[in-house]
Amino acid sequence: MNGEKKEIILEAAVEVMAEEGYYNTKMSWIADRAEIAVGTIYNYFGSKEEVLEEIFAREFKKRLDFLAALEDDPELTARDRIKRFLEKHFSDIKNNPSLGKILVREKEFPRKKSEAIGGYLNQLPNKLAEVLSSAHQQGQLKIDNPDLTAAALFGAIQGVVERAVKLKEYSLLDEAAEELLFFLERK
């Protein structure tokens, strides 16, 4: 019951921030959407920034965990891992496009402070780089610079989501995983 209110607030925040952007979102709008009082938000979050951080923390953690789980499965090739990851990600976004909007858009944050979010935003490419790197070492993938490829891949993911969300053509997301895999398959 208690934890539930926190969820309600986060959901409301995701919606409003997706529509308006972090800086244009007023705490009172989040409260309105969540059908609670502004003050109540501060019983669960220390600040507006923390709300955004929590959103990022959760979503990125989910994805990092998912990726970690895939790595633990020795049966899978690097290609499989990336494929599964992409499919999961795009399918999640399709289920909650608001979230997708925020995840690709909020690259600008309250200065300095929120190292937190910046951190998450780095971890995923890093993890992707790791996967690519180990695949490369095992001869599964021919890539020269895993960091670069991971950065490109991560950007491509964002680009596709952004496009799909902006045009509300969520069907783009269905083909997206397959499409992006071509990027890793080289002669």
Partner DNA sequence: GATGAATGAGGATTCATTCAT
Partner DNA sequence: AATGAATGAATCCTCATTCAT
By the rule CB under 7 A, 27 interacts with DNA: yes
Least distance in angstroms from the C-beta of 147 to DNA = 35
Least distance in angstroms from the C-beta of 127 to DNA = 31
Q: For DNA, give the closer residue by CB, 52 or 78.
A: 52
Site residues for a second copy per CB under 8 A: 20-24, 104-111, 122, 125, 144-145, 147-149, 151-160, 162-164, 166, 172, 175-176, 179-180, 182-183, 185-187
By the rule CB under 7 A, 28 interacts with DNA: yes
By the rule CB under 7 A, 145 interacts with DNA: no
Least distance in angstroms from the C-beta of 171 to DNA = 35
The residue whose two tokens read 């950065």 is 151
The beta strands (E) that lie in the chain are given as: none
Q: For DNA, give the closer residue by CB, 45 or 90.
A: 45
Q: Please compute Rg for the chain using Cα positions.
A: 18
- Helix, strand, coil content of the chain in percent (nearest 5): 75, 0, 25
Q: What angle do CA 167, 173, 174 make, to 5 degrees?
A: 135
**Calpha distance 16→11 (Å, rounded):** 9
Q: Rounding to the nearest 10 degrees, give the CA dihedral for residues 122, 123, 124, 129.
A: 90
Q: For a second copy, give the closer residue by CB, 35 or 144.
A: 144
Q: For DNA, give the closer residue by CB, 40 or 98.
A: 40
**Calpha distance 42→48 (Å, rounded):** 9
**Calpha distance 45→99 (Å, rounded):** 19
Least distance in angstroms from the C-beta of 76 to a second copy = 21
**Contact residues for DNA, defined by CB under 7 A:** 2, 5, 25-28, 36-40, 42-44, 46-49
